[in-house]
Structure 1
Amino acid sequence: MAGSKWRTIADDLIKKIDSGEIPRGSQLPTELELQVEYDASRNTVRDAIKWLTQRQLVLAQPGRGTFVSRKITPFAVELSPRHGFGNGDDDEGGAYVASARVQNRRPSTSDPRVEIRKAAGLVARQLQLDEGARVVTRYQQRFIDDNPWSLQTSFYPMAFVTRGAERLVDAADVEEGVVKYLQSSLGLTQAGYQDLIAARPPDQQESVFFGLPDNASVSLIELSRTVYATTGEPMRFTVTVYPADRNQLYYNIGEVPESRLEVPGPA
């Protein structure tokens, strides 16, 4: 049927992608080449490519062409505390590394980018600071198997630095975990945390870093975590963003055998 020719083209391109005839990550033939190959009009070819794009099978890169999306193996991150609230493993970074090891994946992070800012809005409220009070911001890019996986920004009261937690302003990882470091340097013991999980479209910088389609068809999962000490004061406010096309987030509550979760492994 002439009216479904675009779908025939789309289905044939999918077969070529699945078989490896058109490798993942490679460029699709141009619109003109597809018109000749399938004896189709320009609009019919564009409809086929649009259908593939909407299903994230191909990605249009302005000025370069249309490319086959790379196959993404989802990564599952446990957000619940693994060893009790007072342990350094309960840092988001620790959970990320532990989850990667369980799934035989290779985690890595960028060196932290550290800035001193004025607290405002949500950051000031969650850290219980006055507007304009100074905070230390630590920003990191995180990867799984060298692929961009999440972005994390943590905020700490600048008063922690003046009280003795000077390594917060170092552009280097806190190897033992920030929870343990704040306990040893300031005597602050983590009592618990509160999570807020929301979904939103990515901004331009996030789309570029994660390699997401320009049409915002992939949402970001935004996890905002406020960590509290036994004294009742906030220790940290962290915002982590995860693209929904490559992340699975889960909690274990109570006595749950780890084997109950079927986490995917690398393809």
Structure 2
Amino acid sequence: MLKKSKNHMPLYLSLANIIKNKITENKYQIGKKIPSEMELQKEYCVSRTTVRKALKILSEENYLIKLPGKGTFVSDKSNEIQTQNQKFSSLTDSAAKSGKKISNRLISIKSVAGNDEQHTFLQTTNEQQIIEIKRLRYIDDIPFCLEWIWLAPKFNAIKAEDLNMPLYQILQKKFHINPGKGKKTFKIAFANREESFLLNVDEKTPLMQIKDLVYDDHNLPLHITQEIIRSDKFTYAVNH
């Protein structure tokens, strides 16, 4: 039975750490399927919610990959590409260099609880809510990217802005802030029902998932962005 640790770590984090250790110790091998959610529930005497939260964290960290209809497998983290940028380039800038036109459609903006990674990077407490912006992005009027942006609560005034505009244009105009250095993480994801509908692709289609951790030009944390992109419509070049 999995019990709460002395430092009061949530059960789902304890379970995530156990699974992560089994992966690093090669007890769960790369490319192999891990026990099902039900099997993990029984083995550790925890709820389904606890198991799902643990698996979600490990998927976000690229330890696991969920294949719809097949199960959850150990990912090869060597397939994850990370880049450290001296100067951060936005998707809009990247598209402009190739002569493409980027436009945005706001889906939602709201305050959310946030996860541990977001609070750590944005330097907020677990009690604070962070701002979540969700947009559908178009390249030459064709939907190609579903985007989430997370900002610290000090940027709450951004809710009154026209979020169909480029993010950095808004941040510069409203808050006098420019992006500085950033880190990109690339991995493969598979389209779920919402993503397939919004991006006009078949469900389970392989997509490119890009996560950005971006600092401002004073080296302070600025935002986290996650993009799910149709690789048939947009390609990133990584300079070494």
Q: Give the TM-score category using the shorter length.
A: 0.5 to 0.7
Q: Which whole-Å deviations, capped at 9, do the CAs of 1:32-75 have from their partners, x for residues lacking one? A: xxxxxxxxxxxxxxxxxxxxxxxxxxxxxxxxxxxxxxxxxxxx
Q: Which whole-Å deviations, capped at 9, do the CAs of 1:160-192 have from their partners, x for residues lacking one? A: 33xxxx2x11261375x5445445554544331
Highest relative contact order (Cα 8 Å, sep 6+), 1 or 2?
1
Structure 1 residues 1-267: aligned runs within 5 Å: 85=87, 90-96=89-95, 98-99=96-97, 102-103=98-99, 105-111=100-106, 113-161=108-156, 166=157, 168-170=158-160, 172-173=162-163, 175=165, 177-179=166-168, 181-183=170-172, 185-186=174-175, 188-214=177-203, 216=204, 218-252=205-239
Checking the alignment, whether the CA contact within 8 Å between 1:114 and 1:171 is kept in structure 2 is no
Q: What is the CA distance between 1:233 and its match in structure 2?
A: 2.2
Secondary structure of 1:111 counterpart: strand
Residues 185/247 of structure 1: CA separation in 2 closer, same or farther (3 Å cut): closer
Q: What is the CA distance between 1:110 and its match in structure 2?
A: 1.2
Checking the alignment, whether the CA contact within 8 Å between 1:119 and 1:132 is kept in structure 2 is no
Checking the alignment, whether the CA contact within 8 Å between 2:209 and 2:229 is kept in structure 1 is yes
**Structure-2 residue corresponding to 1:30:** none
**TM-score normalised by length of structure 1:** 0.50
Q: Write the letter of the residue equivalent to 1:235.
A: L
Q: Which whole-Å deviations, capped at 9, do the CAs of 1:183-233 have from their partners, x for residues lacking one? A: 55545443311111111212111122223223x2x2111111011124432
Q: What is the CA distance between 1:80 and its match in structure 2?
A: 9.9
Residues 114/93 of structure 1: CA separation in 2 closer, same or farther (3 Å cut): farther
Answer with 1 or 2: which has the greater Rg.
1
Residues 151/174 of structure 1: CA separation in 2 closer, same or farther (3 Å cut): closer
**Superposition RMSD in Å:** 3.0
Which consecutive unaligned segments of at least 5 residues does structure 1 have?
Answer: 1-78, 254-267
Q: Write the letter of the residue equivalent to 1:229.
A: D
Which consecutive unaligned segments of at least 5 residues does structure 2 have?
Answer: 1-82
Distance in structure 1 (CA, Å) of the matches to 2:143 and 2:164: 21
> Percent identity at matched positions?
14
Q: Write the letter of the residue equivalent to 1:194.
A: K
Q: Write the letter of the residue equivalent to 2:120.
A: R
Secondary structure of 1:247 counterpart: coil
Secondary structure of 2:194 counterpart: helix
Distance in structure 1 (CA, Å) of the matches to 2:238 and 2:153: 31
Q: What is the CA distance between 1:113 and its match in structure 2?
A: 2.5
Aligned residues: 158
